[in-house]
Amino acid sequence: MIDFTYEADFELVNTKQHVEWIQNALLEEGFEEGDINYIFCDDEYLHKLNVEFLKHDTLTDIISFDYTMGKLISGDIFISVERVFDNAKDLGIEFSEEINRVMIHGILHYCGYKDKQEDDVKLMRSKEEYYISKIAK
């Protein structure tokens, strides 16, 4: 089950569309849907998690806690709407495109994709772009 919780002044416009998009991405990657929780929050909320759980005293756009077992994808994905908004502005793209990128980024990590090495980053970006192209505008 894919669930959305809002701890910030934000809500997805079409949750059904996002659920189907994520489900299709999981199927295409060869995984099954478990319990996936998206928690949309502000910078302060996510910063506290970053310090408490990861010992990083920085702002970030996403933190995910992966509970995947085998091919069953489960986890909690925390997204700072403020960071996503600022990043979209800095990149000169629509907020909707950046929120979708961050949402699928968390899922791709659960599917085993990494983003620490240059080649891994290229593959991750390619996968993000591919799945962003799959969601209706």
Q: pLDDT tens digits for 73-97?
A: 999 999 999 999 999 999 999 999 9
Give the whole-angstrom CA distance, residue 95 versus residue 12.
11
Flag whether 56 is marked binding: no
Q: Which tens digits make up the pLDDT trace of 10-30?
A: 999 899 999 999 999 999 999
| Residue 89, C-beta contacts closer than 8 angstroms, at least 6 positions apart | none
Tokens of residue 104, six digits? 């699928």
Residue 118, helix vs strand vs coil? helix
Average pLDDT over residues 20-42: 97
Residues forming a β-bridge with 79: 40, 62
Q: Is pLDDT at 53 greater than 70 in this prediction?
A: yes
State residue 54 phi and psi, 5-degree precision. -110, -5
Helices (H) and strands (E) in the chain, counts: 5, 4
Flag whether 18 is marked binding: no
Flag whether 47 is marked binding: no
Average pLDDT over residues 48-77: 94
The pTM (predicted TM-score) of the whole model is 0.94
Contact status, residue 62 vs residue 78, Cβ threshold 8 Å: yes
Residue tagged 């990149």 (tokens): 91
Question: What is the chain's mean pLDDT, rounded?
Answer: 95
Fold of 2-132: Collagenase (Catalytic Domain) (3.40.390)
**pLDDT class of 34 with cuts at 50, 70, 90:** very high
Q: Is pLDDT at 136 greater than 70 in this prediction?
A: no
| Residue among 87, 90, 12, 83 at smallest CA distance from 42 | 83
What is the residue extent of each domain of the chain?
Answer: 2-132
